[in-house]
Amino acid sequence: MKKAKILIASKIDASAITKLEEKFDVICAFNADSETLKEKIKECSILVFRSGVQITREVMQSSDKLRLILRAGSGVDNIDMNYVAENPSIKLVRIPQPGARAVAELSFALMLALSRSLIVANQSVQEGRWIKNQLTGYLLKNKVLGIVGAGNIGCTVGQMGHSWGMNVIGCIDEATHPADVKPADYGVELMSLEEVMKRSDYVSIHVPKTEKTIYMINKENLSLMKPGAFLMTLARGKVVNEKDLLGALTKENGLGGAGLDVHEVEGEGMKSPLAGLPNVILTPHIGAATYDSMYEIGQIVIKHANEFYNSL
């Protein structure tokens, strides 16, 4: 029997690709442009993708055999969901949980690094300077942790916050919140976005990118935050207005610091307006990129692909 074809449009665990090749004709086109994807997807029954690639209506239309789309992660802002909804023969499966833990741990890495000025501390020692007496930091214990977007990832952050002895509050958008995620089960007390911004010592942002969330973190609600508070965003670029954040970080009695894993402009050659600030940490959208989470996601991709194979 002729092998069914799979297009893998984003890098996934290499061992998973090797396993898939036993049953499928696997085509890899990592982060390719739309024209390349339109060519590669022809005759493919399964599409696998992550962030960093755009899955347009035109791409999906290019295969009349497409039946299964596997989002190796959580967000669906880079796929035309209207097309998926219009085509009931296509099943979309998200794989959010393995990456949720990885993103949540990075949120805490940023919190800890900012709280203890680890980037400045490291740089000073590397340069032969000993500034011990200038680097008093903060404990996480007993601080208020605010979760903006208490879904899969946000609730995992909240659960970890309790383990650190933090008081956890959060907010959700009922329209996009996953029905199976109950914030109260993770110890997250729900309230309005405004209250979360006002009360929190640390704010960690995990909302999906929608028309409603673009620039939702702006000058107005940044001004609600406590002097010296910290903000982390591991959501999507443009959820935070970076120019407004720059103002909040550099004004007198402003924010204590910020950590951004996502940016308004991403990719080679990008330069954040926040670059160079000593109280800012910038990372290149690596939230879900751990060996462990990628392996687990790969195993789930194999499971769903095999179920599809067995249904043929």
Tell me what pLDDT residue 2 has: 77
CATH topology identical between 5-73+291-311 and 98-282: yes
Structure tokens at 172: 């959700």
Q: Indicate if the pLDDT at residue 162 is higher than 80.
A: yes
| C-alpha to C-alpha distance for 263 and 272, rounded to whole angstroms | 8
Reported as a single tens digit per residue, the pLDDT across 60-109 is 999 999 999 999 988 898 999 999 999 999 999 999 889 999 999 999 99
Choose, from 199, 236, 242, 263, the residue flagged as catalytic.
236
Q: Note the pLDDT of residue 1.
A: 60
Structural domain spans, the chain: 5-73+291-311, 98-282
What span, in angstroms and rounded, lies between the C-alpha atoms of 190 and 184?
8
Torsion 177-154-233-245 (CA) sign: positive
Give residue 129's pLDDT: 97
- Distance (Å, whole) CA 12 – CA 116: 34
Helices (H), 25-96: 34-40, 57-61, 81-86
- Structural tokens at position 113: 């690094």
* Residue 78, φ and ψ in degrees, nearest 5: -110, 20
Cα distances from 133 to residues 53, 121, 127, 130, 230, in angstroms, run 46, 11, 16, 8, 22
What are 95-134's pLDDT values in tens digits? 988 999 999 999 999 999 999 999 999 999 999 999 999 9
Other Cβ atoms less than 10 A from the Cβ of 68: the count is 20
Report DSSP state, residue 251: S
User: Of 255, 253, 257, 249, which Cα lies nearest the Cα of 279?
Assistant: 257
Closest listed residue to residue 268, CA positions, set 293, 285, 251, 247: 285
Distance CA 200, CA 221 (A): 12
Yes or no: is domain 5-73+291-311 CATH 3.40.50.720? yes
Rounded CA-CA distance 223/220 in Å is 5
Question: What pLDDT score was predicted for residue 59?
Answer: 97
User: Between 43 and 179, whose confidence is greater?
Assistant: 43
- pLDDT reading at 282 higher than 90: yes
**Residue 66 — left, alpha, or beta (φ > 0 → left; ψ -120 to 50 → alpha)?**
beta
Residue 94 bears catalytic tag:
no
- Calpha distance 235→101 (Å, rounded): 14
* The pLDDT value given to residue 304: 97
Task: Name the catalytic one among 43, 58, 105, 266.
Answer: 266
pLDDT confidence of residue 176: 78
Residue type for position 236: R
Q: How far apart are CA 296 and CA 34, in angstroms?
A: 28
Give the model's confidence band at 256: pLDDT under 50 very low, under 70 low, under 90 confident, else very high: very high
**pLDDT value of position 252:** 93
Residue 140 confidence (pLDDT): 98
Share of the chain above pLDDT 90, in %: 89
Q: Which helix (H) or strand (E) holds 48?
A: strand 44-49
pLDDT at 25 over 80: yes
Question: What is the distance between the alpha carbons of residues 242 and 219, in angstroms, rounded to a whole number?
Answer: 10
166-201 exposure pattern, b = at least 16 Cβ within 10 A, e = fewer? bbbbbbbbeeebeeebebeebbbeeeebeebbbbbb
- The CATH classification of domain 98-282, taken from the options 3.40.50.460, 3.40.50.720, 3.90.1150.10, 3.10.105.10: 3.40.50.720
Contacts of 40 (CB under 8 A, 6+ apart): 7, 27, 29, 32
What pLDDT was estimated at residue 75? 85
Supply the mean pLDDT for the chain: 95
* Three-state secondary-structure class, residue 64: coil
Active site residue 285: yes
* 177 is a catalytic site residue: no
**DSSP per position, 96-133:** -HHHHHHHHHHHHHHHHHHHTTHHHHHHHHHTT---GG
Q: How confident is the model at residue 175 (pLDDT cuts 50, 70, 90)?
A: confident
